Structure 1
Amino acid sequence: MQFLRRSLIGIFLLALTLALFAWAGNTVRLAVQDRMNAEPRSFPQRERVLSVNVVTVTPQTIAPELVVFGELGSTNTFDLRALSSGTVLEISPNFVDGGRVQSGELIVKIDPRDAQSFRDRTAADLRDAQSEVRDAERALVIERDELAAANQQVDLRQQALTRQNDLVTRGVGTAAAVETAELALSGANQAVLSRRQAQADAQARLDQAATGLDRAQLNLADADRGVADTEIRAPFSGTLAEVNISQGVRVTANERLGELVEKDNLEVSFRLSTVQYARLAGADGALGDAAVTVTLEAQDLTLTASGQITRESANVGEGQTGRLLFARLDTAVGLRPGDFVTVTVTEPELRGVAMVPSTAIGSGSSALMLAEGNRLEDVAVVVLRRQGDDVIIRAPALYGQQIVAERSPLLGAGIAVQPIDPNAEAVAPQPPEMITLDDDRRARLIAFVEGSRMPPPVQARVIGQLEQDEVPADVVEDLETRMGT
């Protein structure tokens, strides 16, 4: 009996368990059917609106600027070299690195004794040459007188021969006398030839003496220059650099003693790319006198100088590219040769262009324009120049329109945005629109808020607004949108 009772109880519990499983399954089936047959609850989707900074594209005339790096140099430098060899006797107190000398100032004097001795010997040679010229002139005068006397003898001998011929014609003369007169005339003519030869020799001697005198004068001029070369004077006012001698040192001819730099007349050399050079030169290829500004920044100090482009290098240079240009500076206070500076070159003006932030232009040279309904439109632009953080563009379709100042991957054509113009005047906010609720509508809204998952502080604030006589319209619209009504 006990076994039968326990078996019946087990069968009863099993049947009860199966019944409970069947009831639970039916309950789940009915719930799923009700859920599937119920009208779906829909919530209206709102478009996401992004806030963006915008700028207004304004056409204007802009003179672009090229910013490159350059090196300063002096337009007037002079290597001080010893023109003669010898021992350095005197040195100017200013002949040191950084020393300031004036034009014509004696800065180095070399021992002049050897040069002076050579000059004295050359002067003695000149006096000998002058004496030889005087002797040659006197000899030439004597020879001319002797030639004149010989010519007189010829005339006399001719007269004597004529007289003997007359006597023979009258029958009182002899042939021997005529022959003697002819021989005498021939001897006189021979004497004239000898005197003429002597005169030619005297003239040649005088010419040689004159040549010797000229040579002696040239030698004396060279000797005088050699004496003058023992004194080195400053050819212009400037500052000394790389001085490498001292008093008592023996120097050789053409030895470098230092360098004289005129630091007040500076120029800057800088290199432009071929494209930059073409833009600066223009269609005619002439650089003109484009203005440049040189800037040297040293901690909190900024040195600035202005100037104009004066010339360009004739060739590119081995291993180089672009073009090397030179500009002469008008004023260069505080700047020195060798300074590495920033050079700003002003290009010719561009008309009908606009300057916008570089972040407003995409990689495809396009900008996002604020179209109707605050929706974005992609517009192509022509990028002409880049000026630091800005770009100069030409886009007639954008003139007078607003574009996005800072593009991001979230922005594109057709997206609605909320424009923010940092340059626009601040506008006072409009007060919110207020509406009056009836009791049923107010109760439904309060019940929805109490049953929502809002944080308690937010629930309390919203319920406080709903309990007022007038409630903000945007709050009511937001709550009803969530409720699906």
Structure 2
Amino acid sequence: MRFLRQSLFGVFLAAAALALLLFAAQMVMQAVQERMSRDNRPPQARERVFAVNLQRAELETVTPVLEAFGQIESRRTLELRAPSGGRVIELTPSFEEGGEVEAGEVLVRLDPADAQAALDRARADLQDAEVERRDAQRALELARAELLAGQDQADLRERALQRQRDLEQRGVGTAATVETAELAAAAARQAVLARRIAEAQAETRLDQAATRLSRARLALDEAQRDLDDMTISARFGGTLNGVSLVEGRLVSANEKLAELVDPADLEVAFRVSTAQYVRLLDADGRLISAPVTATLDVSGVDLRAEGTINRDSGTAGEGQSGRVIYARLGRAPGFKPGDFVTVTVREPALDAVIRLPASSLDASGTVLALSGDDRLESIPVTLVRRQGDEVLLRGDGLAGREIVTGRTPLLGPGIKVRPLRQEGQAQPEPDTIELSDERRARLVAFVEANDRMPQEAKQRVLSQLASPQVPARLVQRIESRMGG
């Protein structure tokens, strides 16, 4: 009985296991069929929503800024050349590269021995010419006196001849007496003619003496100029450049000794495109006197100089395009001729324009605006000007609309979006910051150790660093030069 009971229990367990296997197989089959039938059903469509940054379009008056690169030049540059050859016997102590000289200061003296000898000879020749002129003047006076005496004698002879003729007519005189009187009168007239010739010769001699005197004076002036040219002076105050002269050297005529540059009278020359040049013309086609700012980056500190446009180049230049514009600068401490600077020109103001980021404008000249149901709408606009990362636009119905500032290929008209307004935009960096004592001391030490910075600019930077609020841009530029 026990064996039978155990056998039946084993059969029961086997049947239960087989039933569980069949049930599991059925569940697996149902799951597979359900999954396969689910894949055949179409998916449920769901609209995608994009988050976009918006900026309100507002009309404003904007002054565009034109940026270019230019070079500082001096408006007064004088080449110092030797008018004549000679040996250098004296140089001013400031006659060196970068030396500063005053107006009228004697810079170079050449050996004046030959020029002085020529001047002395010219003075002697002038004295001889003056003596000759006085002698010719006296000779002319004597010749005129002799002519006057001869004329008086001729008049007496004529009156004597007339008396003899009267006596002959009354029968008192003889023909021989009359003939003798006629011969005497003829001789007197011949003497007068000779004295007139002598007077003409004396006048010619006087004229020649005057010409010789004029030539002697010209020679004296030329010799004096040659002697003065032995001394070279500064016509205006400035800085010497390109000095290549030492004391004792022999120089030839017209040899270049140095250049005198006026560092206080500077201008900047910069080239612009033809389109940019047209924007700087007035209604009459003349160049406007637009304000100009020249900026030079010196070890993290900007040297700035203000000026105005005063002229442009006469020609475009061979193989060049655009125009070269010259702007006269005002006070420009730290600038030197030859500096390569960044030039910004403030153009005439534009009214009723909208300023937006450049990323909001596409190639077809449209922007995306937000409609009432949070969908995008395309608005055509007119590009007025590009200003760095911004554009100046005009368009109908654009004012007051919220514009997408960052366009992507996924955005277009009719797309539903999630607006990100002011709370989602980055806050602008502060203009000034407050420095800790350690940070301030590190910046001051770096500026004081910079020998390439002009002294005036260094004092200005140190005064800014000493104030409680320091310009953030200044701190950023100095720290970028420090490597930290």
TM-score computed with the length of structure 1 as normaliser: 0.79
Aligned-partner residue type, residue 67 of structure 2: V
The runs of 5 or more residues in structure 1 that have no matched partner are: 1-20, 427-485
C-alpha distance in 2 between matches for 1:246 and 1:345: 45
Aligned-partner residue type, residue 197 of structure 2: Q
Q: How big is the shift at 1:42?
A: 8.8
Aligned-residue CA RMSD (Å): 2.5
User: Which residue number in structure 2 is paired with residue 225 of structure 1?
Assistant: 225
Q: How big is the shift at 1:70?
A: 0.3
Alignment of 1:449-464 (within 5 A): none
User: Which residue number in structure 2 is paired with residue 125 of structure 1?
Assistant: 125
Q: How big is the shift at 1:32?
A: 6.4
C-alpha distance in 2 between matches for 1:248 and 1:97: 18
Q: How big is the shift at 1:67?
A: 0.3
Structure 1 outlier segments of 4+, above 3 Å: 31-36, 40-46, 423-426
Alignment of 1:202-351 (within 5 A): 202-351=202-351
Aligned-partner residue type, residue 132 of structure 2: E
C-alpha distance in 2 between matches for 1:279 and 1:260: 37
C-alpha distance in 1 between matches for 2:65 and 2:155: 100
User: Which residue number in structure 1 is paired with residue 107 of structure 2?
Assistant: 107
Alignment of 1:168-187 (within 5 A): 168-187=168-187
Query: 1:209-254: CA deviations, max 9, x gaps?
Result: 0000000000000001111110010110001111101011111111
Q: How big is the shift at 1:283?
A: 3.6
Give identity over the alignment, percent.
49
C-alpha distance in 2 between matches for 1:176 and 1:216: 60
CA contact (8 A) 2:53 2:424 kept: no
C-alpha distance in 1 between matches for 2:172 and 2:73: 108
Q: How big is the shift at 1:197?
A: 0.5
Q: How big is the shift at 1:264?
A: 1.1
The runs of 5 or more residues in structure 2 that have no matched partner are: 1-21, 427-484
Q: How big is the shift at 1:52?
A: 0.6
C-alpha distance in 2 between matches for 1:34 and 1:351: 66
User: Which residue number in structure 2 is paired with residue 188 of structure 1?
Assistant: 188
C-alpha distance in 2 between matches for 1:363 and 1:44: 36
Query: 1:4-55: CA deviations, max 9, x gaps?
Result: xxxxxxxxxxxxxxxxx9xx99x979x969997x9x9898644221111000
How many residues align structurally? 402
Query: 1:173-203: CA deviations, max 9, x gaps?
Result: 1111111111111111111111101000000
User: Which residue number in structure 2 is paired with residue 419 of structure 1?
Assistant: 419
User: Which residue number in structure 2 is paired with residue 388 of structure 1?
Assistant: 388
User: Which residue number in structure 2 is paired with residue 16 of structure 1?
Assistant: none
C-alpha distance in 2 between matches for 1:271 and 1:47: 53
Query: 1:451-479: CA deviations, max 9, x gaps?
Result: xxxxxxxxxxxxxxxxxxxxxxxxxxxxx
User: Which residue number in structure 2 is paired with residue 201 of structure 1?
Assistant: 201
User: Which residue number in structure 2 is paired with residue 378 of structure 1?
Assistant: 378
User: Which residue number in structure 2 is paired with residue 403 of structure 1?
Assistant: 403
Aligned-partner residue type, residue 395 of structure 1: G
CA contact (8 A) 2:102 2:236 kept: yes
C-alpha distance in 1 between matches for 2:294 and 2:55: 32
Aligned-partner residue type, residue 208 of structure 1: Q
Query: 1:39-88: CA deviations, max 9, x gaps?
Result: x9898644221111000111111111110000000000111111121111
Residue 364 of structure 2 is aligned to residue 369 of structure 1:
no
TM-score computed with the length of structure 2 as normaliser: 0.79
Q: How big is the shift at 1:374?
A: 1.2
Helix, strand or coil for the counterpart of 2:348? coil
C-alpha distance in 2 between matches for 1:32 and 1:114: 124
C-alpha distance in 2 between matches for 1:116 and 1:122: 10
User: Which residue number in structure 2 is paired with residue 355 of structure 1?
Assistant: 355
C-alpha distance in 2 between matches for 1:204 and 1:210: 10
- Seen in structure 2, the aligned counterparts of structure 1 residues 235 and 33 have a Cα distance that, compared at 3 Å, is closer
Helix, strand or coil for the counterpart of 2:109? strand
User: Which residue number in structure 1 is paired with residue 15 of structure 2?
Assistant: none
Residue 24 of structure 2 is aligned to residue 60 of structure 1:
no
Query: 1:270-301: CA deviations, max 9, x gaps?
Result: 11101110111144211121111101112311
C-alpha distance in 2 between matches for 1:396 and 1:420: 24
Helix, strand or coil for the counterpart of 1:189? helix
